[in-house]
Structure 1
Amino acid sequence: MWTDTRPAVEMPQLFERGGDLISFAGGLPDLDVLPLETISAQLSRLVRLGGKLAFQYSTPHVAKALVPAITDLMAREGAATTAENLVPTNGSQMGLMAVALGLAAPGQTVLVQTPAYPGAAAAFRTAGLDLCSIPEDADGLAPAGLRETVLRLRAEGRTARLLYCNPTFQNPTGTTLSLARREELLTVARELDLLVVEDNPYGLLGFDGQTADTLQGLAPEHVVYLGTFSKVFAPGLRCGWIAAPQEVAHALRRTTEVMALSPSALAQASLAAFHARNGWTELIDGYRASYRERSALMADALEAELGTQGPWTWERPEGGFYIWLRHREGVDTGTFVAAAAEQGVSFVPGSHFGLGGEHADALRLCFSHVPKKRIAEGISRLASAFQQGAAT
């Protein structure tokens, strides 16, 4: 069978809830920020006046009314696109799968920034691609290491043309590449004819309101940009987009049409209506404020419970959803999972973000959705789990 010829691909259990569990696992947005009454009124009007269109099949294109909402978001990070270069998706995960199926063939190699978003690794592996990590230095992805890796792979007869990265508030580390490093990486991409896949769910969620220029904005001819409304609006609508060079967009549109037949006309119309009447600024500012507060509460609790000179090290995030803890002595954080479950708290071990079990000495904590009053309690439970796990 086909399933016997492919390696098993699993995603970590991110969204389990219930009981007294305090979950630091899944990257859920804080939907308390959403103006639900406003959205409800807009949806009611949309269904009443245009329901027959909104509930019907649509074409594999971004709806004309939604294009301004997308270009507005992208422009806030120095990027630009046109309707012809846009491909609708039901979120970045579908975009990753479309890239894997539409722009590569089984057996080819995709270069991946690690630690990596597990959904990207799963998509590439499901499509039969080989994954190869990119060397890093103190400033992140290393241009010289990228060049050496690509040349070595090609000398071995392997096809390596795709480079996947999440350069702004990266999942899971929360780090952001500097502008200088972005330009250096793009120079190597041009030199080696690499197509860069830029995954950017968190770029607008800097706590101070500042943004970094996207790779797509710096080199649109070499970048396939994956955008999503999941983190700046809500994931339940399952709506996102790909912005790509026109010939690449054409190939990806064919692939997404096979995957989903058509995007959700209702989701696209809902987002277009919200943007037309409200814009994005107030909503994004609300999300930034929420995550800034939760991030500070978690970082303060970590300092109180674990100290700053002990075995655990981390950085206070400047945006996004996550704090990345590492154990100075290289302990496998997977050994703490059972103890954490007993204490009623969950996290994602670092090995989920490696390509072959690396980064096992780390773990990811998500602060975006945990009730503010329970963050310190959850970190206290986690510290107890660390003590319990270390004693066994």
Structure 2
Amino acid sequence: MWTDTRPAVEMPRLFERGGDLISFAGGLPDLDVLPMDVVSAQLSRLLRLGGKLALQYTTPHVAAALVPAITDLMAREGGRTTAGNLVPTGGSQMGLMAVALGLASPGETVLCQTPAYPGAAAAFRTAGLHPHAVPEDAEGLDPEGLRETVLRLRADGRTARLLYCNPTFQNPTGATLSVARREELLTVARELDLLIVEDNPYGLLGFDGRTTATLQGLDPDRVIYLGTFSKVFAPGLRCGWIAAPAELAATLRRTTEIMALSPSALAQAALAAFHTRSGWTDLIDAYRASYRERSALMADALEAELGTDGPWSWQRPDGGFYIWLRHRDGVDTNTFADAAAEHGVSFVPGSHFGIGGENADALRLCFSQVPKKRIAEGISRLAVALGHGAAEGVAA
């Protein structure tokens, strides 16, 4: 059977809640920031005046009313696109599957920045592709390492045409590639005729309001850009987009039509209405302020509980949702999972972000939706769990 020819692919359990659990696992946005009264009034008006259209099937295109909302978001990071280059998706995860199914063939190799978002690796593997890690140095993705890797794979008879990366406030590390490094990567991509898949959920969530030019903005003919409203508006609408060169956009549009038949006309109309009446600036600024405060609370608590010269290392993020802890002695963080559960706290072990077993010595903490008053308590619970897990590992 088809299912017997592909390995089982699982995602980490990110969104489990309940009881007294303090979850640092799932990357949920802080929806307390979203002006629910405004959204509710707009949805009510939308359904009252145009409900028969908003609740009907539609074509596999980004609605004309939504195009300005997307181009506004992309332009804030130097991106540029037109309606003909846009493909609607149910969020970036659907975009990843569409790219994997529409632009590659089973058995091909897809190059990945690591640590890698687990949903990307899962999508590629589900489509029958083989993720392969690209070397990194102190500045992130290594252009020379990319060149050597591609040439070696091709010399071995393997097809490698796609490079997947999350270059701004990366999930899980929070790191951002410099513009100079982005230019170097694009130079190698042109030399080797690689397509870059740029996943950018967090690029507008820099705590100081500054942005970094997207790869798509630097070379729109070489980059397939995955955008989403999940982190700058709300994930429940399941609405995102792909911006791609026109010939690739046509292929991806056919693929997404097979996957979902039709995008949500209601979601697209709701987002367009919000942008028309309110724009993005105030909402994005409010999200930035929320995450800046929560990030500082978590980093301060980590310093207080774990110190700065112990077995755990991390960096204060400049944006995004996450803090990435690494054990200096290489201990597998899965060994702490049971102790963490017993103490009512959760995290994502680093092994979920590996391509071939790497990153097991790390763990990801998400601060974006944890109630501010509980962040320090959660880190205190985590510190106890990490101590217990280490003690048990030594005893074993």
**TM-score of the superposed pair, with normalisation by structure 1:** 1.00
Q: Please report how far the alpha carbon of residue 357 of structure 1 lies from its aligned counterpart in structure 2 after TM superposition.
A: 1.7
One-letter amino acid of the structure 2 residue matched with residue 315 of structure 1: Q
Q: Which residue of 1 aligns with 2:84?
A: 84
SS in 2 for 1:291: helix
One-letter amino acid of the structure 2 residue matched with residue 112 of structure 1: C
Q: Which residue of 1 aligns with 2:140?
A: 140
SS in 2 for 1:64: coil
Q: Which residue of 1 aligns with 2:73?
A: 73
Unaligned runs of 5+ in 1: none
Distance 2:101 2:42 in 1: 36
One-letter amino acid of the structure 1 residue matched with residue 198 of structure 2: E
What do residues 242-300 of structure 1 show as CA deviations (whole Å, max 9, x unaligned)? 00000000000000000000100000000000000000000000000000000000000
Q: Please report how far the alpha carbon of residue 2 of structure 1 lies from its aligned counterpart in structure 2 after TM superposition.
A: 1.2
What do residues 130-157 of structure 1 show as CA deviations (whole Å, max 9, x unaligned)? 1110000010000000000001111111
Q: Which residue of 2 aligns with 1:12?
A: 12
Unaligned runs of 5+ in 2: none
**Could you list the runs of 4 or more consecutive aligned residues of structure 1 that deviate by over 6 angstroms after TM superposition?**
none
Give the CA RMSD over aligned residues: 0.4
One-letter amino acid of the structure 2 residue matched with residue 73 of structure 1: L
Distance 2:39 2:178 in 1: 37
Q: Which residue of 1 aligns with 2:319?
A: 319
Distance 2:262 2:367 in 1: 34
Q: Which residue of 2 aligns with 1:376?
A: 376
1:98 equivalenced with 2:98 (yes/no): yes
Distance 2:227 2:90 in 1: 10
Distance 1:384 1:172 in 2: 23
* Paired residues for 1:217-366 under 5 Å: 217-366=217-366
Q: Which residue of 1 aligns with 2:62?
A: 62
Distance 1:19 1:137 in 2: 42
One-letter amino acid of the structure 2 residue matched with residue 37 of structure 1: D
Distance 2:171 2:259 in 1: 25
Q: Please report how far the alpha carbon of residue 106 of structure 1 lies from its aligned counterpart in structure 2 after TM superposition.
A: 0.1
One-letter amino acid of the structure 2 residue matched with residue 338 of structure 1: D
Q: Please report how far the alpha carbon of residue 4 of structure 1 lies from its aligned counterpart in structure 2 after TM superposition.
A: 1.0
Distance 1:386 1:63 in 2: 49
SS in 2 for 1:31: coil
SS in 1 for 2:132: strand
Percent identity of paired positions between Structure 1 and Structure 2: 84
Count of residues in Structure 1 that have an aligned counterpart in Structure 2: 392
Q: Please report how far the alpha carbon of residue 391 of structure 1 lies from its aligned counterpart in structure 2 after TM superposition.
A: 1.4
Q: Which residue of 2 aligns with 1:130?
A: 130
One-letter amino acid of the structure 2 residue matched with residue 131 of structure 1: P
SS in 1 for 2:259: helix
**TM-score of the superposed pair, with normalisation by structure 2:** 0.99
Distance 1:40 1:390 in 2: 49
One-letter amino acid of the structure 1 residue matched with residue 140 of structure 2: G
Q: Please report how far the alpha carbon of residue 312 of structure 1 lies from its aligned counterpart in structure 2 after TM superposition.
A: 0.3
SS in 2 for 1:301: helix
Q: Which residue of 2 aligns with 1:51?
A: 51
One-letter amino acid of the structure 2 residue matched with residue 129 of structure 1: L
